């Protein structure tokens, strides 16, 4: 039987020299090393396509490394068989980019779904637990609503309540702030931090939102082109001298990522048009 030792390990997640590619011509990750200490909220940041979500899929066991090792709770994810991987995933929570609620289920049933599927708990206990999770995100009063009746921020909070239904040891968030208005964004950020601390969980946050992420996380890994370009506490990232990190954090329009798409000589193009 699979037994995780997450309560005794210092790092809930360890990524050791991981490389990954979908084929011989597409290398996505190029030797990633990361550690996510127990009880901390760690952000993975970088431009779209740099491998952030692929890394989450490796941690969750949906993909296996081409080289290197991913360990969760002290166990090598890539070496687990089907039943062991299923047992480990029960200890993980995942908040997808746009919530991914079941559209034909009520808010309450969305949150209760995992308890009904993965535990032998009687329905009265499931009811109480589901309402407790909704209370934690401020939406107990919306239990009977359908997803189509929710605003974007409310839907994201319901998805968060569902993701913590089984009190996971590890929470993973894939762009949790995408498409939210400033008020909803702030609420989600505060919930991520508060729920992590109150549940005694560990969280990995993939995001482009510099301001919100640096205000709530304990540590940051900054990725570029499949590699870790910089890492440190939020203050280190804000003050980074690495040109690409500085451009990203401060939202500068030009730099290592150029404003202009590569092109020929501008003057020559105009002369050709005039001719």
Backbone phi, psi, residue 13, to 5°: -125, 135
Residue 5 pLDDT class (50, 70, 90 cuts): very low
- Segment 166-178, tens digit of pLDDT: 888 999 998 888 8
pLDDT of residue 1: 37
- Segment 186-232, tens digit of pLDDT: 888 888 998 899 888 999 999 888 888 888 999 999 988 889 988 99
Share of the chain above pLDDT 90, in %: 38
Residue 265 pLDDT class (50, 70, 90 cuts): confident
Spans of all domains in the chain: 11-91+171-181+196-274
Does pLDDT of 8 surpass 70?
A: no
As a whole number, the mean pLDDT across the chain is 86
Backbone phi, psi, residue 266, to 5°: -65, -45
What is the residue-wise DSSP string for 33-46?
A: EEEEETT-EEEEE-
- Segment 36-69, tens digit of pLDDT: 999 999 999 988 778 888 999 999 998 999 999 9
What DSSP designation does 179 have? Answer: T
Q: Hey, what CATH class is 11-91+171-181+196-274 in?
A: alpha beta
pLDDT of residue 198: 86
56 or 6: whose pLDDT is higher? 56
Average pLDDT of span 113-142: 91
pLDDT of residue 270: 80
Average pLDDT of span 91-112: 86
pLDDT of residue 69: 94
Residue 98 pLDDT class (50, 70, 90 cuts): low
Interatomic CA distance for residues 59 and 36, integer angstroms: 11
Contact yes or no for 156/190 (Cβ under 8 A): no
Interatomic CA distance for residues 66 and 139, integer angstroms: 42
Q: Which residues contact 206 (CB under 8 A, 6 or more apart)?
A: 43, 44, 45, 52, 53, 55, 56, 172, 173, 174, 175
Of 81-95, 150-164, 260-274, the one with minimum mean pLDDT is 260-274
pLDDT of residue 59: 94
């Amino acid at each position: 039987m699979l037994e995780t030792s997450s309560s005794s390990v210092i790092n809930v997640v360890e990524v050791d020299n991981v490389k990954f590619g979908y084929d011989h011509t597409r290398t996505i990750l190029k030797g990633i090393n990361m550690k996510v200490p127990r009880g901390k909220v760690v952000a993975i940041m970088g431009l779209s396509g740099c491998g952030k979500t692929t890394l989450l899929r490796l941690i969750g066991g949906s993909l296996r490394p081409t080289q290197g090792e991913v360990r969760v709770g002290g166990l090598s994810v890539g070496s687990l068989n089907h039943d062991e991987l299923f047992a480990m995933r029960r200890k993980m929570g995942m908040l997808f980019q746009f919530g991914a609620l079941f559209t034909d289920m009520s808010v309450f049933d969305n949150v209760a779904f995992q308890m009904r599927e993965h535990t032998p708990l009687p329905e009265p206990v499931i009811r109480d637990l589901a309402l407790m999770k909704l209370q934690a995100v401020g939406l107990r009063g919306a239990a009977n609503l359908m997803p189509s009746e929710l605003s974007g921020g409310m839907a994201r909070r319901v998805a968060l309540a569902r993701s913590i239904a089984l009190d996971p040891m590890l929470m993973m968030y894939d762009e949790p702030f995408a498409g939210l208005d400033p008020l909803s964004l702030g609420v989600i950020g505060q919930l991520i931090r508060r729920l992590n601390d109150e549940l005694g969980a560990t969280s990995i946050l993939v995001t482009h939102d510099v301001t919100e992420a640096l205000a709530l996380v304990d540590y940051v890994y900054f990725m570029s082109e499949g590699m870790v370009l910089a890492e440190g506490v939020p203050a280190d990232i804000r003050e980074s001298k690495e040109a690409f990190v500085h451009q990203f954090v401060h939202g500068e329009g030009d730099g290592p990522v150029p404003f202009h798409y590569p092109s020929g000589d501008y003057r020559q193009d105009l002369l050709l048009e005039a001719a």
